[in-house]
Amino acid sequence: MKFAVITFPGSNCDYDCYRAVKDHLKCQVEYIWHREHSLNNCDCVILPGGFSYGDYLRTGAIARFSPIMQQVIDFADKGGPVIGICNGFQILLESGLLPGAMLVNRNLQFICQTVHLKVENNRLPFTNRLTAGQLLRVPIAHKEGNYYADDRTIKELEDNGRVVFRYSDGSGQADEKSNPNGSLNNIAGITNKKGNVLGMMPHPERAMEQLLGSSDGALVFDSIKNFLGAN
């Protein structure tokens, strides 16, 4: 069982994802530089957070043209699990693997804080160790995390259980007050039709151990391992 962490110039959560797999899952993991043309037979692809190409054009807009992205798209098309976190989510949106777009946060500022996430779909490779309605404490850290899509897309996501995580408060209430960035329907993470591609703004790799405040993110990694082990 091997994980790939794709490193773009400007990725900066690649190290944290690498450590999460290595230290917590104790699985094989390798960095794959964006100019490579092969995923080296990895079983799961992680697109980490950061500022690929400085986000100077639009978040994720340049990274999607990196040579490795064609491999990632082919891998996803064949049903391989792909998780994009933060900037990785933005890259998934830009490359068309997931629908919608990110706007600048409602308060126009970068926001770094721990939030509550409500689990909406626990039937995915990334969530099978979670229960529906479970609350996770996971940090967010982004300036462009205000998820937006047209009404039809939002309906399509909602009707088909493709909203995976929603921002909520400590009692599971997902409303305006518990929405940190203005995302439509408090959407924090979504999946594709087949359910093998997950994009999420919060950082599960930052919530791997109590020493750093929360270990809830580890459940997402445990789920992937569980899924891969079962296959």
Does the annotation count 86 as an active-site position?
yes
Distance CA 193, CA 177 (A): 30
| Shortest distance in whole angstroms from residue 164 CB to another protein | 19
CA distances from residue 56 to 38, 44, 69 in whole angstroms, order as listed: 27, 28, 19
Task: Decide: 12 and 55 in contact? Cβ < 8 Å.
Answer: no
Whichever of 170 and 229 has its CB closer to another protein, that residue is 170
Residues lying near another protein in the complex (CB under 8 A): 9-10, 12-13, 15-16, 19, 49-51, 53-56, 109-116, 137, 139, 141, 143, 169-170, 177-178, 203, 205-206, 208, 211-214
| Shortest distance in whole angstroms from residue 31 CB to another protein | 11
Single out the residue of 4, 196, 26, 178 nearest to residue 97, CA to CA.
196
The residue annotated as part of the active site, out of 27, 86, 116, 144, is 86
The residue annotated as part of the active site, out of 94, 120, 144, 205, is 205
Grouping H, G, I as helix, E, B as strand and the rest as coil, residue 100 is coil
CA distances from residue 112 to 51, 86, 115, 141, 142 in whole angstroms, order as listed: 15, 12, 9, 4, 7
Whichever of 80 and 139 has its CB closer to another protein, that residue is 139
Whichever of 51 and 147 has its CB closer to another protein, that residue is 51
CA distances from residue 103 to 39, 106, 147, 157 in whole angstroms, order as listed: 30, 8, 6, 18
| Shortest distance in whole angstroms from residue 78 CB to another protein | 30
The radius of gyration computed from the CA coordinates of the chain, to the nearest angstrom, equals 16
Whichever of 181 and 191 has its CB closer to another protein, that residue is 181
Does the annotation count 203 as an active-site position?
yes
| Shortest distance in whole angstroms from residue 204 CB to another protein | 11
Q: Which residues are catalytic?
A: 86, 203, 205
